[in-house]
């Protein structure tokens, strides 16, 4: 059995943080969306989009016109996805795999649903719902 002292634990923690930050920087540079004229990003963050059985990693963007997902290049499925805000009927907080409180489901006017997993799901839902509320006023 390998026993790590305090120094070993600190070193592994620092290495883990450095790798994580490097990975996040790579994803940011790898997933820049092409916005339409006068479209502004309101919120963005790391996310997975569920496509069939694959959790496609990338970045989720809420703009003043769309919800967009830009996958990073390390995925098998690398197609971007977007929906105009006018096509979103409902935003629902959900649990990924039935127990992780990080899921966001977008129910579209077409009857389809898109599921994402992201950090701070409640803030995402609130931001998206605020656009839906403005649309209804």
- 87 by Cβ neighbours in 10 Å (0-12 / 13-18 / 19+) ranks as middle
pLDDT in tens, 18-71: 555 555 555 555 557 778 888 899 999 999 999 888 888 889 999 999 999 998
Number of other residues whose CB lies within 10 A of the CB of residue 35: 15
3-state secondary structure of 119: coil
Strand pairing partners for 55? 50
Using an 8 Å Cβ cutoff, are 115 and 94 in contact? yes
pTM given for the model: 0.75
Of the CA atoms within 13 Å of residue 16, those in its CB half-sphere come to 6
pLDDT in tens, 61-99: 999 999 999 988 776 777 889 999 999 999 999 998 889
């Amino acid at each position: 059995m390998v026993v790590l002292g305090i120094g070993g634990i600190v070193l592994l923690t620092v290495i883990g943080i450095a790798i994580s930050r490097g990975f996040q920087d790579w994803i940011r540079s790898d997933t820049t969306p092409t916005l339409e004229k006068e479209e502004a990003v309101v919120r963005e963050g790391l996310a997975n989009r569920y496509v069939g059985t694959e959790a496609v990693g990338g970045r989720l963007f809420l703009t003043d016109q769309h919800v967009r997902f830009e996958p990073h290049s390390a995925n098998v499925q690398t197609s971007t996805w977007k929906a105009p805000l006018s096509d979103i009927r409902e935003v629902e907080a959900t649990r990924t795999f039935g127990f992780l409180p990080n899921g966001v489901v977008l129910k579209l006017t077409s009857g389809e649903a898109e599921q994402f997993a992201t950090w701070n799901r409640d803030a995402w839902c609130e931001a998206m719902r605020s656009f839906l509320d403005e649309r209804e006023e």
